[in-house]
A and B are shown apart, each in its own frame.
Chain A
Amino acid sequence: MYAYDELDRTLINERVSEFRDQVKRRLSGELTEDEFKMLRLQNGVYLQLHAYMFRVAIPYGTLSSRQLRALARVARRYDRGYGHFTTRQNIQYNWIKLSELPDALADLAEVGIHAMQTSGNNMRNVTSDQWAGVAPGEVEDPRIWSEILRQHTTLHPEFSFLPRKFKIAITASEHDRAAIKVHDIGLRLHKNADGETGFEVLVGGGLGRTPFIAKTIKPFVHGRDILSYVEAILRVYNQYGRRDNIYKARIKILVHELGIEKFAKEVDEEWKQMGHSALTLDHSVIEEVRSRFSYPVYEKLPHMPDELKQAAHDPLFERWRKNSVAPHKVQGYSIVTLSLKPVGGPPGDATADQMDAVADLADKYSFGEIRVGHEQNLVLPHVAKRDLPQLWKALDRIGLATPNVNLVTDIIACPGLDYCSLANARSIPIAQELTRRFANHDTAEMIGRLHINISGCINACGHHHVGHIGILGVEKNGEEFYQITIGGRADENAQMGALIGPAVPYAEVADVIEDIVEAYLALRDRPEELFVDTVKRLGVEPFKERVYATR
């Protein structure tokens, strides 16, 4: 965990006072709605269909139990007793009152949580691998760098009024769990031939109505230069990014229009001009940030404790363990994913009671630490294997032991038309129906890894382009229709899915997905061949035929 010091706390409190003043000026009419809109957006406050929505940052997905309890308290005190975890390591509250927002922020500030730059045309919450620091084989803990970037991007005096939003994600593992290739800047931590730490820098990825996979702009930027290099990219973007059309304002469009070589040249020139600047990170500065991350003192534990051997006789426990428990870098420990995707539930929602209970379990079993992943699930990152059976029982009691992690019902979905004023169609009921269709765990396990992503509009908050199956809500003559894509992925081999054919009406979506899955089961050449690999091998045609033959 990163420990905020007096300076971090002071800044957050100063932000709360500033926002309190801004809300006061809005309520008194001193600020117009147009003027206030920008200010509230800088602080994660959207006006949705029914109420204000409040988005709170969970930088690089790391939470302490104390912080999670504070999130629960906000859900209870200012909202309707639940929160929604998003695809960018944020939590959203959907029913907040404007007049109470400053108090909610003040409550969160007490535990070092804020909502700065969770929306607006600025540098957004820096995200990372939810397994950072515990995944086997990691280059090093990417959260050190995430925190350095978090500080650097917070209230940046030059880049707080960019052409459009700007998202940075960092990974330090070969397997990319942070979806860096669909970010404005993706950073892959690795070591050069001399063993020095640095980054492959990718730029111009993004979804929305014009999706692009990020391109490598520089294969290696030394760690000490990462802030100046990022600043050079931002400066080029701030000056040349389009401001005449909101849909063409993201950096991906600039990179696309200039071409990556020309864009890289512009950035390099700017970077050279910056030279050795105050942004260069001395070793001691990096170590200072590193020193404020605390790590658990792990016990020396056996690889296979007796408790686990005994519990293995319980098929329900085994099913959960095989699905939701992953290897930890320390022997005797595990990384446990808590599915927020119960059958029939809205993906990513957690009640205040669940949050409190998870905080208690984190204290008991995970050194007080919780992670939030972009798949909208929670993680307990340091669970001793001997505790797994007890933990499983406890999770099951609070509805967080659904063994569907990475399976067909582990659906990523945006809030859609049930909440969002941008949406064309509903997302949540589609997800709920699909979880009911595939509620049988044996079937889901037989299908294997399959990511379904649902967005209620072209803004693609549900990342539908990179779902193995992507579902995009569109509006046709006042009715909800859905375009289906297949073959997308968000990992290190990221690519966009391909459209299978004409959009289908709301009522048929679940049937169509069932058809696609059945086609896959018939077409895969062996049970281990994942859905996305079958699509890669055969293309969309056989799936298209299956879906549209009878429609």
Chain B
Amino acid sequence: MPLVKNGRITTDLFVQIADGAELPGDGAILVPAARFLEDPEAMLRRAGKLGVIWPNNRNLDDLVPYLDRLAAVALVFPSFRDGRAYSQARLLRERHGYDGELRATGQVLRDQFVFMSRAGFDAFEVKKDADADAFAETVKRYSVFYQPTGDGRVTALNRRMQLRHSESAGQ
């Protein structure tokens, strides 16, 4: 499954650790939430980057205390119809100030890319190769956005206000 990061297909530096599997001594790893919560401090002391896979039905409160020490958070889309992780993503970015890698996993398809990047995802485990190849062109589909989110894109309302101000300044 290709990983898209910074808009390009890249090599995934994280190794995903299955439940019960032994942790490698170093290197970047992604661990399931339950495994992480067994002994977060021990895991954070380990050499190598740490990322946590957080399920979409689990409250973020348990994760928040560790955010500034995590290199990645992976949120899950068990099906593309299940949009809970969009809320989690926005909360992580906009409320909790998380600025590490925010990865979308599960059923990640081309037509969710714009929504996901607006919600704060910056890494995508894309289900289909063709969708991953089309990433750069797909995220450019839209140039107008109505809602303010943490992604920094200027909303239509704000663009209109700016336009008004520049018009009145020019008079």
Contacts and interface: CB of A to CB of B under 8 A. Distances in A.
State yes or no: do A and B come from one complex. Answer: yes
Interface of A: 5, 7-8, 10-11, 14, 17-18, 22, 30, 35, 38-39, 121, 151-152, 154-162, 235, 238-239, 243, 273, 277-279, 284-285, 288-289
A273 B95 contact: yes
Please give me the 8 A-B residue pairs with the lowest Cβ-Cβ distance, nearest first.
A161-B83, A157-B118, A278-B148, A11-B144, A151-B146, A158-B86, A7-B156, A157-B115
Given A14-B141, A235-B87, A8 B148 contact: no
Interface size grouping (class) on chain B: 20 to 34
B131 to A, nearest CB: 9
A22 B114 CA distance: 14
Nearest to B110: A25
26 contacts: A7-B144, A7-B156, A7-B160, A8-B156, A14-B142, A22-B111, A30-B130, A35-B80, A39-B111, A155-B145, A156-B146, A157-B119, A157-B147, A157-B149, A158-B87, A158-B115, A159-B83, A159-B86, A160-B83, A160-B115, A161-B81, A161-B115, A238-B84, A238-B86, A239-B84, A273-B95
Contacts of B13: none
Given A30-B130, A121-B81, A151-B146, A7 B159 contact: yes
A154 B155 CA distance: 12
A288 B83 contact: no
Nearest to A122: B83
A144 to B, nearest CB: 13
Given A30-B130, A160-B115, A288 B144 contact: no
B11 interface: no
Given A8-B144, A14-B142, A14-B143, 19 more contacts: A5-B160, A7-B159, A7-B160, A11-B142, A11-B156, A18-B111, A22-B111, A30-B130, A157-B90, A157-B114, A157-B149, A158-B87, A158-B115, A160-B86, A161-B115, A239-B84, A278-B155, A285-B161, A288-B164
Nearest to B80: A38
Contacts of A277: 148
Contacts, number: 94
Chain A binding site: helix, strand, loop or mixed by DSSP?
Answer: helix
Interface in B112-171: 114-116, 118-119, 130, 141-149, 155-157, 159-161, 164
Contacts of A158: 83, 86-87, 90, 115, 119, 147, 149
B109 interface: yes
